[in-house]
């Protein structure tokens, strides 16, 4: 058990009368008066000092320390003195080591979190500070989606600090702190007519973008990294084993998102489209580093490349090929609705309409969890209302309508 030492006074026993008297020490009036001494859970002696007239604070601190030790919640007061900008460097090491993911994390944290919290100690990051940061993001005009992403980054950092017993609690989890939340936006798949208009207007060299996106549910980077060698003709399946990404402004091959390779059934029409395409544009062998700019060089026969035989670069493709296609098709490009990801949404919609289960769709799309697929696409599933009505009608036969048909 620890104790509170009074550094200004001490008790001295009179050797003659055995009477105990309080006398001033040599430190009287110098420095902080009360010193709390205690042992941490590892048996190391710790201390914290308090000024004159704050004996109660010292006593309360000691009680809190002993209580936290019993409950396993002890945090060394000095541990939280580490600056945010220094602690976050250790946090990066515990995140995904995928080069592109690390690059994005560092950019977001160093651009948006370090300027606000960097010089602050971890233990000083409290509710008012977090609220002020959220207000600042709104005043800057950052989108709610981006605010939410940054908020989650900060919360993850503070969570890690709590787990490492550097701070007691995560201010982002306080009830009085509101997480930025963009309004729920339901995905509205393209009508098939829009797909065919875009597909016809795409330059011939880039038509697999529409075929593999809407016909196989591939992400953009996976389309750029797809090879005809990934086609299994016997089973009529596509093996999605890589993507093209940009790391430090360098094109690299990398595993699909979350490193989840997958196999997707290939429709005969999709295979026919790819075969016709390869007659006009034979595959090109492209060599890129694996995962990071200095990674092992890997050569892949790519299905779709640029005219000079290089892998497609996302931004250049989007601005130079994809968006202009809408103008050629006589369509207005809508930012949030018409990116290449719209092809995946159309694929999901058609699969669900065709009776494919959520679990199978989740596998085909490469999602980490069927529950995620369900949350994103549940409103696109064929209505169960008619099935429910038919089941009820089997118990309670409906009357005939005037046209002679039973009600639905």
Q: What angle do CA 287, 289, 291 make, to 5 degrees?
A: 135
pLDDT of res. 386: 63
Q: Give per-10-residue mean pLDDT for the chain (408 aa).
A: 90 86 92 91 86 93 86 83 96 89 94 96 96 96 94 97 92 95 86 95 97 96 98 96 96 94 94 96 98 96 97 97 98 94 93 89 91 81 63 75 51
Q: What is the DSSP string of 199-264?
A: HHHS-GGGTHHHHHHHHH---HHHHHT--GGGEETTTTEEEE--EEEEETTEEEEEPSGGG--EEE
Could you check whether 80-173 and 193-327 share the same CATH topology?
no
Report helix, strand or coil for 347: helix
Distance CA 229, CA 181 (A): 43
CB half-sphere exposure, 88, CA atoms < 13 A: 26
pLDDT of res. 214: 95
In order of 197, 204, 229, 269, 360, the CA distances from 348 in angstroms are: 19, 25, 25, 17, 11
Write down the residue that tokens 């939410």 correspond to. 148
Contact call for residues 144 and 181 (beta carbons, < 8 A):
yes
Write down the residue that tokens 């008066």 correspond to. 33
In order of 88, 220, 269, 354, 365, the CA distances from 211 in angstroms are: 43, 12, 9, 18, 15
What number does CATH give the domain 80-173? 1.10.150.130
Distance CA 314, CA 245 (A): 8
For the chain, report the end-to-end CA distance as a whole number of angstroms: 77
In order of 155, 213, 223, 384, the CA distances from 226 in angstroms are: 37, 11, 5, 37
Distance CA 265, CA 360 (A): 10
Q: Give the domain ranges of the chain.
A: 3-74, 80-173, 193-327
Residues 6 or more apart whose CB falls under 8 angstroms from that of 388 comprise none
Q: What is the DSSP string of 275-300?
A: HHHHHHS--EEEEEEBSSTTSPEEEE
pLDDT of res. 407: 44
Cα dihedral sign for 212, 369, 251, 346? positive
What number does CATH give the domain 193-327? 1.10.443.10
Helix H segments across 15-125?
A: 55-71, 84-93, 99-108, 114-117
In order of 151, 273, 276, the CA distances from 270 in angstroms are: 42, 5, 10
Distance CA 325, CA 198 (A): 6
Q: What is the dihedral of CA 364, 366, 369, 371, to 10 degrees?
A: -50
pTM, two decimals, is: 0.74
Distance CA 300, CA 289 (A): 11
pLDDT of res. 79: 87
Q: In what order do the strands lie in the sheet with 3-6?
A: 3-6, 34-39, 45-50
In order of 125, 181, 360, the CA distances from 178 in angstroms are: 16, 8, 36
Residues 6 or more apart whose CB falls under 8 angstroms from that of 48 comprise 35, 36, 58, 61, 77
Work out the angle between the directed axes of helices 358-365 and 341-353 (0-180°, nearest 10): 150
Residue 200: how many CB atoms within 10 A of its CB?
Answer: 12
């Amino acid at each position: 058990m620890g104790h509170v030492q009074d550094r200004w006074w001490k008790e001295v026993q009179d050797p003659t009368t055995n009477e105990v008297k309080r006398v001033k020490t040599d430190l009287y009036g110098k420095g902080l008066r009360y010193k709390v001494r205690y042992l941490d859970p590892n048996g190391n002696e710790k201390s914290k000092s308090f000024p004159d007239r704050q004996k109660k604070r010292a006593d309360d601190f000691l009680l809190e320390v002993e209580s936290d030790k019993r409950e396993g919640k002890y945090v060394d007061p000095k541990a939280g003195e580490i600056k945010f900008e220094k602690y976050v460097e250790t946090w990066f090491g515990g995140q995904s080591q995928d080069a592109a993911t690390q690059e994005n994390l560092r950019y977001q944290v160093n651009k948006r979190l370090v300027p606000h919290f960097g010089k602050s100690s971890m233990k000083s990051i409290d509710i008012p500070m977090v609220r002020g940061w959220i207000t600042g993001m709104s005043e800057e005009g950052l989108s709610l989606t981006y605010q939410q992403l940054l908020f989650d980054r900060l919360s993850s950092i503070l969570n890690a600090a709590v787990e490492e017993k550097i701070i007691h609690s995560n201010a982002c989890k306080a009830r009085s702190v509101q997480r930025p939340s963009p309004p729920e936006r339901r995905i509205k798949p393209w009508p098939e007519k829009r797909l065919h208009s875009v597909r016809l207007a795409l330059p011939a060299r880039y038509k697999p973008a529409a075929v593999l996106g809407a016909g196989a549910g591939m992400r953009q980077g996976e389309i750029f990294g797809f090879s005809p060698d990934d086609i299994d003709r016997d089973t009529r399946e596509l093996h999605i084993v890589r993507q093209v990404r940009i790391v430090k402004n360098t094109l690299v091959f990398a595993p699909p998102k979350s490193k989840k390779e997958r196999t997707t059934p290939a429709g005969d029409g999709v295979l026919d489209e790819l075969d016709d395409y390869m007659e006009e544009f034979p595959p090109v062998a492209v060599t890129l580093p694996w995962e990071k700019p200095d990674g092992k060089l890997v050569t892949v026969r790519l299905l779709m490349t640029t005219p000079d035989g290089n892998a497609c670069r996302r931004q250049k493709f989007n601005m130079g090929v994809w968006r202009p296609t809408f103008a050629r098709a006589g369509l207005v490009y809508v930012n949030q609705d018409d990116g290449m990801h719209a092809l995946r949404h159309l694929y999901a919609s058609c699969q669900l309409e065709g009776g494919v289960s959520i679990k199978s769709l989740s596998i085909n799309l490469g999602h980490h969890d069927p529950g995620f697929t369900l949350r994103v696409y549940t409103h696109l599933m064929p209505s169960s209302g008619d099935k429910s009505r038919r089941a009820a009608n089997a118990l309670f036969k409906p009357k005939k309508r005037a046209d002679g048909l039973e009600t639905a």
